[in-house]
Amino acid sequence: MLPRSSSRPQLDLSGAAIHGTLEDRNPTILLPNQSDDISHLALDIGGSLIKLVYFSRHAELSTEDKRKISTKRRLGMFNGGRRSYPILGGRLHFVKFETGKLNECLDFISSKQLHRGVFCGKATGGGAYKYADLFKERLGVSLEKEDEMDCLVSGANFLLKAIRHEAFTHMDGHKEYVQIDQNDLFPFLLVNVGSGVSIIKVDGHGKFQRVSGTNVGGGTYWGLGRLMTKCKSFDELLELSQRGDNSTMDMLVGDIYGGLDYSKIGLSASTIASSFGKIISENKELSDYRPEDISLSLLRMISYNIGQISYLNALRYGLKRIFFGGFFIRGHAYTMDTISFAVNFWSKGEAQAMFLRHEGFLGALGAFMSYEKHGLDDLRVHHLVERFPMGAPYVGGKIHGPPLGDLNEKISWMEKFVQKGTQIIAPVPMGVPATTGMGGFERPTSKGDILRSDASAALNVGVLHLVPTLDVFPLLEDPKTYEPNTIDLDQDEFKYWFKILSDHLPDLVDKAVASEGGTDDAKRRGDAFAHAFSAHLARLMEEPAAYGKFGLANLLELREECLREFQFVDAYISIKQRENEASLAVLPDLLMELDSMNEIDDFDMFKKRMLTDRKDQPYKRALLFVDNSGADVVLGMLPLARELLRHGTEVVLVANSLPALNDVTANELPEIIAEASKHCGILRKAAEAGGLLVDAMAGIQDDLKDTPESVPLMVVENGCGSPCIDFRQVSSELAAAAKEADLLILEGMGRSLHTNLNARFKCDALK
């Protein structure tokens, strides 16, 4: 018997059973006596901050009913496993704490019981040695130390491979997200700016070398800043810099040349000639200088030098891409701008400084990946979905207290803020407004422009949902160039949608509360949802790029996710049921009227092919992406599906996996089709062939020998819970159904106008 590994959480295998079919090579194993949450945890314990990454898996298995099993068989989804071993779906969380408040970290791990069943946790950084005994004493967890450089590189490689818009540039206060070509990622320079600076040349996965570094880094800034300004924390020192004017201390080119540029060598009058150089000629004491100016001068001095040293190393190895990480960056706009200016200046625009949204978590994420069979290596970009719940514990570079826990804690926190008249800022509890940097402080850049305050410039890091059942839609003409959003949400566009969504919010809350019976609990959750979503909107108004590259599809999905976060499963359920019943009542008359028509609208070549004889090859399989409940699906899409079926085309109705507004879901469609089939033999036979009718299921044999002659009508989930659809992330069912499809019909403004208006496919498509 093999010894039990001490570095992995232990499972309770009593009562274990296989969930699935014999054809599935990698079926799910149900553990009825195991807790819903099984966690890996990993830490990066630095001199100033503790970064925690942990994985939680929740039991969110949908029921594999006979309809789904029949559909999967027909689509060939039980012909062998597609991965080397099954990846557990779940969530990857990112949390940070001040090292000086280590007890908060220990309390958090204990409260969430992340240490349960974990005898040995992964850790990197100097604190992994310094605090090992404390973790053992308080949590009973031994810290298994991982090499710091290995972790940094491993974490960076994973993020650049798996997160679609992880990297971005930052020049003159403007962010621009960069799509990294996976085939052209290596080599690159990774500059990790912590207390000191490590410069690493990365040639591939597991292939790297530390080529340089400097002892002048974040620790230098904090140490000198604390000595000269009496600041108590790194964040306080950064906040001071937002109000600083470095020209009172730094000698600028203009000071030497009478206020003029030195244009011959490309130096503007505002360029620093000598950091703190002005102090030489002034008869002043330290107390005569403003702490804000001291902080900014220090920040510029250190940031410029980091940028220059990094570029010189990139030049040495012929590299054009430099990625900067580490908690010195902290999403701080001025720091990023200064580093970018230095790289751009010295390289004459040939090299590019790029930053990472998860900049401070590289080490902790790399430590997490050192677990055996963690599953992340098998994940691809389409398997990861980032969500921004109000309980997300990290925003920008600030620490705002312990992360929020359960739903009641979230609601209570927001109610307290509302009672005190304090502005709620998504997605976590913030300090009082005076400390959030919301004032729009003007700070000079190297070119004399204005930057926004760093609270607005900071990037939010959410929770990464690992969804291994998502796939890329195989009928996209070019997945690499596909962009779902028809327009990007810039400031003006977002103002328009901010008004639309804000005006609609009271009505949405009323419907959500009514869907839960109008109870006091539902009203309380409705108020909390309204405050939470309003906070998200305010955050995005302040910084449209705060949550990454954000389009209209993301914004609308954020609203639905926020509803689900406050446990409103389907806000429009009663309205949908009422409209479905009314539409089904008039469906027989509509079908009779359609059958009595001699001709339909002239669709030219589409009509010719769709209505041709079967011997002349009509469409083999059509995917119909349905939209709203009621008349839209019952009186619109079902008659269209019926016409296609009549002429020998297989039809797959594609609907949302989760509710969104009044859109019909895949779980609701079979009941609607069953009712419609009572009035139409074509629909009934096709639904039987597709395994949709419950009363026909008993006659369908496992080997499908008695399949009816009719072409099938099937239903699949699209993998979404939004009015829009991103074809880079669809359900594996839909991906399988698409392989033999030669016609797509996209219905609805969300799926064919707000998104996918410009999308190109490998087959015919109607939008």
Handedness of CA 583, 587, 588, 589 (dihedral sign): positive
If we measure between CA atoms, which residue out of 221, 204, 105 comes closest to residue 157?
A: 204
- The DSSP secondary-structure symbol of 181 reads P
Fold agreement between 487-566 and 578-694+709-765: no
Identify the residue whose tokens are 């998104």: 755
pLDDT bucket at 15, cuts 50 / 70 / 90:
very low
How buried is residue 455: exposed, middle or buried, by Cβ count under 10 Å (0-12/13-18/19+)?
buried
If we measure between CA atoms, which residue out of 65, 30, 60 comes closest to residue 467?
A: 60
If we measure between CA atoms, which residue out of 44, 17, 21, 48 comes closest to residue 32?
A: 17
- Residues 217-267: pLDDT tens digits? 998 999 999 999 989 888 889 889 989 999 999 999 888 888 888 888 777
Q: Which is more confident, 420 or 553?
A: 553
Q: What are phi and psi of 228, to 5 degrees?
A: -95, -20
| Buried b or exposed e, range 457-476, using 16+ CB within 10 angstroms | bbbbbbbbbbbbbbbbbbbb
Q: What are phi and psi of 97, to 5 degrees?
A: -140, 155
Handedness of CA 334, 336, 339, 341 (dihedral sign): negative
pLDDT confidence of residue 515: 95
CATH for the stretch 578-694+709-765: 3.40.50.10880
Who's near 636: CB < 8 A, 6+ residues apart?
Answer: 747
How far is it, in rounded angstroms, from Cα 198 to Cα 207?
A: 16
**How many other β-carbons are positioned within 10 Å of the β-carbon of residue 308?**
16
Secondary structure of residue 44 in the 3-state scheme: strand
In this structure, are residues 39 and 58 in contact, taking their beta carbons and an 8 Å threshold?
no
**How many other β-carbons are positioned within 10 Å of the β-carbon of residue 611?**
15
pLDDT confidence of residue 404: 53
Secondary structure of residue 765 in the 3-state scheme: strand
User: pLDDT above 70 covers what percent of the chain?
Assistant: 78
Domain spans of the chain, in order of start: 8-60+86-146, 167-373, 487-566, 578-694+709-765
Give 3-state DSSP helix, strand, coil % of the chain, rounded to 5.
40, 20, 40
How far is it, in rounded angstroms, from Cα 761 to Cα 743?
A: 10
Could you tell me the CATH superfamily of domain 167-373? Answer: ATPase, nucleotide binding domain (3.30.420.40)
Bridge partner list, 745: 624, 766
pLDDT confidence of residue 86: 37
Looking only at the bridges linking them, the beta strands covering 650-655 and 621-625 are parallel
pLDDT bucket at 78, cuts 50 / 70 / 90:
low
In this structure, are residues 289 and 266 in contact, taking their beta carbons and an 8 Å threshold?
no
CATH for the stretch 8-60+86-146: 3.30.420.40
Q: Is the pLDDT of residue 387 over 90?
A: no
How far is it, in rounded angstroms, from Cα 387 to Cα 395?
A: 13
How far is it, in rounded angstroms, from Cα 268 to Cα 446?
A: 8
How far is it, in rounded angstroms, from Cα 77 to Cα 565?
A: 32
Average pLDDT, the chain: 80
- Residues 299-337: pLDDT tens digits? 999 999 999 999 999 999 999 899 998 878 878 888 999
Bridge partner list, 204: 207
**How many other β-carbons are positioned within 10 Å of the β-carbon of residue 440?**
13
pLDDT confidence of residue 375: 59
Q: Is the pLDDT of residue 272 over 60?
A: yes
C-alpha distance from residue 383 to each of 380, 463, 722 (Å): 5, 13, 17
In this structure, are residues 388 and 464 in contact, taking their beta carbons and an 8 Å threshold?
no
Cis, peptide link before residue 187, omega less than 30° from 0: yes
How far is it, in rounded angstroms, from Cα 17 to Cα 318?
A: 56
pLDDT confidence of residue 156: 94
* H and E: helices and strands count for the chain: 25, 25
> DSSP E strands: which ranges in 563-673?
621-625, 650-655
What CATH topology corresponds to 487-566? AF1104-like (1.20.1700)
How far is it, in rounded angstroms, from Cα 619 to Cα 296?
A: 66
In this structure, are residues 635 and 757 in contact, taking their beta carbons and an 8 Å threshold?
no
- The pair of structure tokens assigned to 376 is 């992340």
If we measure between CA atoms, which residue out of 50, 459, 47, 337 comes closest to residue 221?
A: 47
- The pair of structure tokens assigned to 533 is 């979503």
Helix (H) or strand (E) holding 214, with range, is strand 207-214
Secondary structure of residue 228 in the 3-state scheme: helix
Helices (H), 516-572: 520-542, 552-565
Who's near 406: CB < 8 A, 6+ residues apart?
Answer: none
Q: What are phi and psi of 158, to 5 degrees?
A: -65, -45
Q: Which is more confident, 579 or 433?
A: 579
pLDDT confidence of residue 488: 78
pLDDT confidence of residue 300: 93
Q: What are phi and psi of 561, to 5 degrees?
A: -65, -35
In this structure, are residues 114 and 91 in contact, taking their beta carbons and an 8 Å threshold?
no
pLDDT confidence of residue 367: 92
Q: Is the pLDDT of residue 493 over 90?
A: no
Lowest-confidence segment of 283-292, 571-580, 704-713 by average pLDDT = 704-713
**Highest mean pLDDT of the ranges 286-300, 327-341, 364-378, 684-698:** 286-300
- Residues 120-135: pLDDT tens digits? 889 999 999 999 999 9
In this structure, are residues 723 and 659 in contact, taking their beta carbons and an 8 Å threshold?
no
Mean pLDDT of 79-100: 64
